[in-house]
Structure 1
Amino acid sequence: MLEKFKKSRKLKWALGVLLSLIAIPLLFYTLIYLGAFGKIPSTSDLKELNQSKATQVLAAHGELIGKFYIFDRQPITYSQIPQHLIDALIATEDVRYYEHNGIDSRSLLRVFFKTLLLQDKSSGGGSTITLQLAKNLYGRKDYGAFGIVVNKLQEAIIAKRLEDIYSKKEILTLYLNTVPFSDNTFGIESAAMKFFNKHTKALNLEEAAVLIGMLKASHYFNPRIFPERSRLRRDVVLMQMEKYGYLSNAQMEQAKQKNLQLDYQFYSSNQGVAPYFREQLRKDVSAILDTLKNAEGEKYNIYKDGLIIHSTIDFTMQQLAEASVKEHMQDLQKAHEQSYGSRAPWLTNNEIILAAVKRTEVYKKLSNQGLSDAEILKRLNKDSHEMELFNYDEEKVITGTTLDSIKHYLKFLNTGFLALEPSSGAVKAWVGGVNFEHFKYDHISQSKRQIGSTFKPIVYTAALENGIAPCSYFSINEVTYENGWTPSNSGSYGEDPFMNYNLKTALSNSINTIAVKVLMETGISNVISQAEKMGIQSSLPKVPSLALGTAELSIKELAGAYTSYVNNGKSTTPFYITKIEDSKGNTLAEFKPVQKKQAAFTETNRQVMIEFMKATVNEGTATRLRTTYGLQNEIAGKTGTTQSNKDGWFVGITPKLVTVTWVGSDDHRIGFRNTRIGQGANSALPVFALFMQKLNQNPNFSDITQAHFKKPSEEVVELLDCEASSRDGFFDRLFNNPDKSNNKKKEPKKKKGLFKRLFGKKDRD
């Protein structure tokens, strides 16, 4: 009897244990199912999956030039996925994918018993593609010791619901659109574009195997960082495909022989094509989106809603512009540093150095702690450490102080380059500086600088519009104006004060004394009015020095004004966004070119001004375009240099492209050491010259490079039919003393008739 009782107790105990083993997991599963460890998405939630999508920025011809995202994700459809990529995925990640309902029961039980009961953390996962999709969609939370089991069971519930809602093809598509790759990239399309610069549908077998191989451990098998490791993993994927019948042995071996070749694309804000442009576009689009709402009445999010922004940027032209800027600026930087030597202001001028220090976050932090400027400078110059510094040739690592770093970046010249289509104002290339990662300030959208002699064409246009003939002659002699200001000339212009030049010669050779006289003869108010007609909106100083470009304008403003010379006298407003679409391709906003309704000047004067500026290139201050760079294109242009060589400018005009280049230092107090280096013809013009050389080498731009200016009319030819210069005769020289203190301007000389041209006599006003 006692034996029976004991056996009965053991049986009950065993039965109790067995029931517990069944009940506890069942209860545990029920608690998870009911949301005790966090809400599980319902069937209706899963039917409306809406993951964050990267907003794409497209160039004029559809090339991807950048993205805005929290997670870099670009969804695609099943039809855009090549079969060999799907085969690689299934062979590597879930060979029984088409046979199960989303859950591999054996793997799930293994995880439960080994991990929970035996505390074996190396038991592995064995997740199906559907389970991985559940993890991709909703992530995992930390539940302590039970974390892996809770997460796995939650994913199993979600996976089962996904299988009930979606087909196998749809699940594959969802998975490939959400799976994480290296470098903060999500989804196969983003990975294909980032690592191989091609769409998913264009991936070949080897490239597909590289990306699928990365899924095992995205950082460990990152082909950018660990190319050999990635190649070996690719070969494992290929062998798996051969093992399960997706490839023949010959196909596998052939694919394994291929080298790993990346075409890596940077889409971060600091890197890639057109970073300055993309940052300005981000600001503009964000402001536009604030005025729009989606179907649910919510504002669009540039980082999450997968918008498509169409821009006017020409992808290739942008690349050529960036290459031209880098090529010239690294040479100019060397010359700039050599010209100063050990006397460089970024090394010796304490006022400039302190000003640069005060712009840093570390200064603000130390200043808030009560430290004086002297104490802060001492602190910043005390502790040496390794640092990576920007340099044109390559980033270099040095051991130095924070103050050393500040001085290093203070020495760099910067630039802005903008290319417009004059007929519409569409921006084709935008380079806001030499390196966005280290110099965030955009000289296209944020900067206004004195524009120097690039303002002179506006002065001469106003003169023509107000009745001064192209063949009027002005004396080169110096005159002192109000406040004792006496403009002078550089070079040979000024050696003979009795010389007189017509407008074409004066403008093409940028003669300062004549430019001011033309301004005064025309009237300052008339010149300002002319500038406004050409689209200038900034306030212009009402002083004689306006003729020499003391006004501060932005590159965009100046470029827009110059478009009038090749757009029938009508200036255009630079624009760069054509359309914004939602993720489904529906248009949210559209933008059209904007130009002045009325021409700013007559067609005759437009042609005259083009001839003046063609002379600048052919025989004036920009002749190195012909002599040094060998450009044979039809080009008009204007150089510009501001006082003390602070700023160098060049405006290049072709019949179908207007470009503006500025070069200078971010700190106004640091100018070029001398005019030879700092003049616009040396500091800014070469960027345009190199850019045009590169355009000439690309047949796709022949419509721009081979375009011709409209032939001047007979009237214009007649108006320009006069000698470039004349010299005062004996009696004029005797009775007209070109004294600098003489405020009385010389009267302009009118165009000479045929008889007087032949016999050397001159007319006077």
Structure 2
Amino acid sequence: MKLLLKRKWIKWAVIVGVSVVGFFALIYASVFLGVFGKLPTKEDLSSIKQAEATQLLDKNGKLIGKYYIYDRQPLEFEDIPQHLIDALVATEDVRFYEHDGVDNVSLLRVFIKNIILGDKSAGGGSTITLQLAKNLFGRKNYVVFSMLINKFKESIIAKRIEDIYSKNDILTMYFNTVPFPDNTYGIESASRKFFNKPAIHLNYSEAAALIGTLKATSYYNPRLHRERTQLRRDVVFQQMYKYDYLTEEEIDSLSAQELVLNYKSFNHDVGLAPYFRESVKKELKIILDTLKKPDGEPYDLYRDGLVVHTTLDSTMQALAETSMKEHLAGLQRAHEQSYGKYAPWNSKKVVNSAIKTLPAYKTYKSQGLTEKQILDSLSVKRKTELFQWKGDTIKNVSAIDSLKHYLKFLNTGMLSVEPQTGAIRTYIGGIDYRFFKYDHVSQSERQVGSTFKPFVYTAAIEDGMKPCTYFSLSAVTYTDFDDWTPTNAGKEEDDEHLNYNLETALSQSVNTIAVKVLNKVGIEKVVEQAAKMGIQKELPEEPSLALGVAEINLKELTGAYASYVNDSKPVKLYAITKITDKNGHVIAEFKPDIAEEQAYSDYTREVMLQIMQSTVNRGTATRLRSSYNLKNDIAGKTGTTQNNKDGWFVGITPKLVTVAWVGNDNHSIGFKTTGIGQGANSALPIFAKFYQKLNADSQFNTITKSKFETPSDAVLQDLDCEPEKRDGFLKRLFGNKKKERKFKRK
């Protein structure tokens, strides 16, 4: 009986065994024949293509950003350090150089120790080549037996990869495709993100730490769990010691080292120059639409591994951003304190008007919701991250609460360009791209205030007016323009018998004289002069043009001011110098776009530079000297618009022109007082702090130590006159008291 039972058991065991083997064979055959999807052939595998991030480089070749679907940046085998390879092999696939893609010895070990003996430390039997197959082609979710089907697929692909590629090629592809923490693909991207260096420069500790994260990229994310990652790094060291890649002395020394990160995110919303990167991306899309690959296919910004060389100076950009944040944080506090509890952003009228501009409001309105229903929907509270200068915070707020929070914030736009070429060196489109997507450099047009006055004076001097021409400070009513009477902000505005020459009038930014100069030379000539200087915006032909009522884009304004240190020629600003494909072939190249003809004479340029230096030395921008102790050769112009809505400063040095604007995005909200909102207080300090930092860095000596051209004897002679003079006794006694006139048109 026992013998019979034994035979039956053996019989059933054989039947079950054969059935299991047959089942696995059937599944394997089905996978091989493509029942569960076509497998890549050897021909397909021989031309593997992976999406590669487009890299954005600064003027010195430093990586400042990427455009990608997957953050991937490929390397050649020669760029992978040997200790990184050793760490991978020791930890993930010690028999890598011996198997053909599938390690049968390891699989047998796993089967015996893990399945039969229950030893969970036996590992999973995967190989680097199997992992590569998974990295390249991913996994699909089938109704049943998904894991088994995917494993069979990967084993077939792995063997085909081994037939085509060398072990070094397989390692290269693996390192270029393997996922690391923070949605990062490839060792080069991971190295630059977590340690801010190329993979070739990874030390033993950094290399082992990154290899350690492969076990569980979220659990061992070094940004979030540095100590945990360091412990995992030490496990990698132990594996390297176990398989003779490290000596006992080396492992002791390495394990004692603390893991130090130098994290640099290339997220589109954070990091250096996000507004610049977004602006360049828009430009690239237009450029790439005009280009084709050698095979006739269009370039893909997110997949083709392009390299975009830009004009930005990343070091200078970092200094500019720091300067902006230092000033705006303090200015914001002063701005809020000046209004107190009667702030306009708390006004029901202002808030209700702003609510109607919300995209969500417009969407609800288009859906036919009533006003009450819309407001109820916008009043639903949820946890939201809010921007604050003292540090972002998460609060339970509604869309309306969030709107009220952001209404109070001042924003900014700032550009620094090389005036001889138009190359953009720094670009600040706002205070924080995560929360304020609107770009005040490329998208915004704001009233430019007194920064327009130099164009008026340039037209006048070009028309023959001498710098020592005097104009009275007295206010004049222009009867043909609704009896408009421009006035001055200073204490001397009522002194009708005081006269300033052009240098004093512009350096002190006198409104009444600017309008008189405009009247003298004629509106048409001023508009024509501005156009020659690159101002393409249609300008209002009215007397208030002299005071900067025109709304002009910051880029145009900067290009026009560049002419004062570029042989009287305006420039068009540019950000991209060239684009190469992933093999280094240039597919597009861009050169400076400088006007061929002068916008005005050398004489006019030299006069205007002297006058605008007076603005810094004796006029409205003297705090550059007194408060910030800047000794550089600087010319400039401050600007403030009506009701203190906009503050401007233009800083001109021989090799760098900088324009800064500060204001509120809501045009109904201005500064409480001129003292806070004037350009000398709201915008000038950004430039001043920026230049202090440039002065402290010797690498910028060619910029900071540059000198203006020496003016001709004729210019110096024509400027040699008293800055002001008073009317004589008879004129004071019998002068015209009415001070009304019509505005001249020429």
Per the normalisation by structure 1, the TM-score is: 0.93
Pair 1:440-2:437 in alignment: yes
Q: Residues 95 and 103 of structure 2 are in contact (CA less than 8 Å); yes or no, is this contact kept in structure 1?
A: no
Report the AA paired with residue 428 of structure 2: V
Show the counterpart of 2:696.
697
Structure 1 distance, partners of 2:718, 2:362, is: 62
Pair 1:462-2:459 in alignment: yes
Structure 1 distance, partners of 2:235, 2:121, is: 22
- Gap change, CA 1:712 and 1:218, over 3 Å in 2: same
- Gap change, CA 1:404 and 1:10, over 3 Å in 2: closer
Task: Give 1:374 deviation, angstroms.
Answer: 4.5
Instruction: Provide the secondary structure at the position in 2 that maps to 1:663.
Output: strand
Task: Give 1:389 deviation, angstroms.
Answer: 1.2
Structure 1 distance, partners of 2:445, 2:729, is: 47
Structure 1 distance, partners of 2:562, 2:40, is: 57
Instruction: Provide the secondary structure at the position in 2 that maps to 1:600.
Output: coil
Instruction: Provide the secondary structure at the position in 1 that maps to 2:400.
Output: helix
Q: Cα deviation per residue 1:208-248 (whole Å; 9 max; x = unaligned)?
A: 01100010000100010011111111111111111111111
Task: Give 1:605 deviation, angstroms.
Answer: 1.0
For 1:588-667, list aligned pairs within 5 A: 588-667=587-666
Q: Residues 479 and 744 of structure 1 are in contact (CA less than 8 Å); yes or no, is this contact kept in structure 2?
A: no
Instruction: Provide the secondary structure at the position in 2 that maps to 1:726.
Output: strand
Pair 1:310-2:309 in alignment: yes
Show the counterpart of 2:470.
473
Show the counterpart of 2:419.
422
Structure 1 distance, partners of 2:245, 2:2, is: 64
RMSD: 2.4
Structure 2 distance, partners of 1:11, 1:258, is: 59
Structure 2 distance, partners of 1:460, 1:708, is: 23
Task: Give 1:439 deviation, angstroms.
Answer: 0.3
Show the counterpart of 1:753.
none
Q: Residues 421 and 656 of structure 1 are in contact (CA less than 8 Å); yes or no, is this contact kept in structure 2?
A: yes
Show the counterpart of 1:251.
250
Q: Cα deviation per residue 1:615-670 (whole Å; 9 max; x = unaligned)?
A: 00000000000001000000000000001100000000000000000000001110
Q: Cα deviation per residue 1:657-694 (whole Å; 9 max; x = unaligned)?
A: 00000000001110111100010000000000000000
Structure 2 distance, partners of 1:339, 1:538, is: 35
Pair 1:568-2:567 in alignment: yes
Show the counterpart of 1:63.
62
Report the AA paired with residue 340 of structure 1: Y
Structure 2 distance, partners of 1:537, 1:486, is: 28
For 1:203-602, list aligned pairs within 5 A: 203-348=202-347, 350-381=348-379, 383-481=380-478, 482-602=481-601
Show the counterpart of 1:762.
none
Pair 1:136-2:140 in alignment: no
- Gap change, CA 1:650 and 1:438, over 3 Å in 2: same
Task: Give 1:375 deviation, angstroms.
Answer: 4.6
Structure 1 distance, partners of 2:268, 2:197, is: 20
- Gap change, CA 1:389 and 1:5, over 3 Å in 2: closer
Which range moves more in the overlay, 710-719 or 351-360?
A: 351-360
Q: Residues 87 and 240 of structure 2 are in contact (CA less than 8 Å); yes or no, is this contact kept in structure 1?
A: yes
Instruction: Provide the secondary structure at the position in 1 that maps to 2:228.
Output: helix
Task: Give 1:327 deviation, angstroms.
Answer: 0.6
- Gap change, CA 1:745 and 1:720, over 3 Å in 2: farther
- Gap change, CA 1:650 and 1:401, over 3 Å in 2: same
Task: Give 1:266 deviation, angstroms.
Answer: 1.4
Report the AA paired with residue 478 of structure 1: A
Structure 1 distance, partners of 2:668, 2:162, is: 68
- Gap change, CA 1:22 and 1:540, over 3 Å in 2: same
Instruction: Provide the secondary structure at the position in 1 that maps to 2:309.
Output: strand
Q: Residues 479 and 745 of structure 1 are in contact (CA less than 8 Å); yes or no, is this contact kept in structure 2?
A: no
Show the counterpart of 1:74.
73
Structure 2 distance, partners of 1:74, 1:358, is: 44
Q: Cα deviation per residue 1:544-565 (whole Å; 9 max; x = unaligned)?
A: 1100011110000000000110
- Gap change, CA 1:113 and 1:69, over 3 Å in 2: farther
Task: Give 1:25 deviation, angstroms.
Answer: 2.2
Structure 2 distance, partners of 1:432, 1:122, is: 54
Report the AA paired with residue 355 of structure 2: V
For 1:112-131, list aligned pairs within 5 A: 125-131=124-130
- Gap change, CA 1:225 and 1:11, over 3 Å in 2: closer
Show the counterpart of 1:756.
none
Q: Residues 474 and 494 of structure 2 are in contact (CA less than 8 Å); yes or no, is this contact kept in structure 1?
A: no
Structure 2 distance, partners of 1:231, 1:151, is: 32
Report the AA paired with residue 182 of structure 1: P
Q: Cα deviation per residue 1:233-289 (whole Å; 9 max; x = unaligned)?
A: 111111111111111111111111111211111111110000000001111101111
- Gap change, CA 1:154 and 1:675, over 3 Å in 2: same
Structure 1 distance, partners of 2:361, 2:709, is: 57
Report the AA paired with residue 681 of structure 2: N
Which range moves more in the overlay, 289-298 or 707-716?
A: 289-298
Task: Give 1:77 deviation, angstroms.
Answer: 0.7
- Gap change, CA 1:123 and 1:376, over 3 Å in 2: farther
Instruction: Provide the secondary structure at the position in 1 that maps to 2:741.
Output: coil
- Gap change, CA 1:39 and 1:118, over 3 Å in 2: farther
Aligned length: 742
Structure 2 distance, partners of 1:396, 1:17, is: 62
Task: Give 1:6 deviation, angstroms.
Answer: 11
Task: Give 1:362 deviation, angstroms.
Answer: 3.3
Structure 2 distance, partners of 1:634, 1:373, is: 58
Pair 1:147-2:146 in alignment: yes
- Gap change, CA 1:715 and 1:8, over 3 Å in 2: same
Task: Give 1:470 deviation, angstroms.
Answer: 0.7
Q: Residues 73 and 189 of structure 2 are in contact (CA less than 8 Å); yes or no, is this contact kept in structure 1?
A: yes
- Gap change, CA 1:6 and 1:58, over 3 Å in 2: closer
Structure 2 distance, partners of 1:177, 1:623, is: 56
Structure 1 distance, partners of 2:743, 2:722, is: 22
Structure 1 distance, partners of 2:3, 2:234, is: 65
Instruction: Provide the secondary structure at the position in 1 that maps to 2:495.
Output: coil
Structure 2 distance, partners of 1:427, 1:486, is: 40
Report the AA paired with residue 716 of structure 2: V
Report the AA paired with residue 425 of structure 1: G
Instruction: Provide the secondary structure at the position in 1 that maps to 2:238.
Output: helix
- Gap change, CA 1:674 and 1:738, over 3 Å in 2: farther
Which range moves more in the overlay, 24-33 or 590-599?
A: 24-33
Show the counterpart of 1:757.
none
Structure 2 distance, partners of 1:640, 1:345, is: 23
Instruction: Provide the secondary structure at the position in 2 that maps to 1:319.
Output: helix
Structure 2 distance, partners of 1:648, 1:543, is: 22
Q: Residues 318 and 428 of structure 1 are in contact (CA less than 8 Å); yes or no, is this contact kept in structure 2?
A: yes
For 1:184-199, list aligned pairs within 5 A: 184-199=183-198
- Gap change, CA 1:680 and 1:6, over 3 Å in 2: closer
Report the AA paired with residue 604 of structure 2: N
- Gap change, CA 1:34 and 1:745, over 3 Å in 2: closer
- Gap change, CA 1:642 and 1:108, over 3 Å in 2: same
Which range moves more in the overlay, 666-675 or 103-112?
A: 103-112
Structure 2 distance, partners of 1:243, 1:18, is: 37
Structure 2 distance, partners of 1:428, 1:245, is: 50
- Gap change, CA 1:18 and 1:380, over 3 Å in 2: closer
Q: Which runs of 5+ in 1 are unaligned?
A: 747-765
- Gap change, CA 1:471 and 1:121, over 3 Å in 2: same
Structure 1 distance, partners of 2:358, 2:641, is: 29
Q: Which runs of 5+ in 2 are unaligned?
A: none
